[in-house]
Amino acid sequence: MEDYVYVLDFLPKGRGDLPPFKRTPVVYGIGENQFTFLELIPKRDATFTIGERVYVGKDGMQRVKIEKIKGRVNFEDLTATAHGELPYVINDIVKNQEPQFVKFFNEASAISTRFHVLELLPGLGKKMMHQILDERKKQPFTTFKEMQDRIDFLRCPDKLISKRIELELTDPNQKYRIFTRPPISHESSSQY
């Protein structure tokens, strides 16, 4: 369950690809814990900005802008605006949850004897992976900045994580999912 989502797009007049009588205001968002794409029904007169963090949990008193969660959607169901904003919003989520993702670097393990989960991060090769493993044995990392200071040529570890999350969200055929839920199949309902 997601308690908070980040707004990817807000359509106050509904989707333009629907007939006028079926158009209702809609918000597309991405959950901050499992990176779940959600279609949301806003409360009357609520307004949203892209990148805004909005409560969608079960506590009705806290849910001031969202009427209800319509359901999960996949990447291809999102608007072009949502597609364009996705990399920036993912990076904001990663930065806002830095301790969780630093912990990932500290605890990531091998998938097999020849392949490590860190190698799934785009742009991170075996040499840098070994540097990360050696450094974390000496002392666990505490921040992204500290990681950059301790590991040669490692720049923006938050962007490595963000790119992996984006890849998992945009490519339904990814074999490994480190940070995201699998996409919903169109045969099943879009139950949240």
The reported pTM is 0.90
φ and ψ at residue 27, rounded to 5 degrees: -120, 135
Calculate mean pLDDT across residues 14-29.
Answer: 90
CATH for 4-81, options being 3.30.565.10, 2.40.50.140, 3.40.50.970, 3.90.190.20: 2.40.50.140
Give the strands of the sheet with 26-31, arranged side by side: 53-55, 4-11, 26-31, 37-42, 66-72
Between CA 136 and CA 47 the distance in angstroms is: 44
Q: What is the reported pLDDT for 186? A: 59
Q: What is the reported pLDDT for 20? A: 87
Q: What is the reported pLDDT for 6? A: 97
Give the pLDDT confidence of 128-167 residue by residue, as tens digits. 999 999 999 999 999 999 999 999 888 899 999 999 999 9
Average pLDDT of the chain, as a whole number = 91
Between CA 27 and CA 21 the distance in angstroms is: 18
Kindly tell me if the per-residue pLDDT of 115 is higher than 80.
Answer: yes
- 41-49 contact pairs (CB < 8 A, 24+): 41/66, 41/67, 41/68, 41/69, 41/70, 42/10, 42/66, 42/67, 43/67, 47/10, 47/12, 48/7, 48/10, 49/7, 49/10
Please tell me what DSSP assigns to residue 110.
B
The domain ranges of the chain are 4-81
Q: What is the reported pLDDT for 189? A: 44
Kindly tell me if the per-residue pLDDT of 95 is higher than 60.
Answer: yes
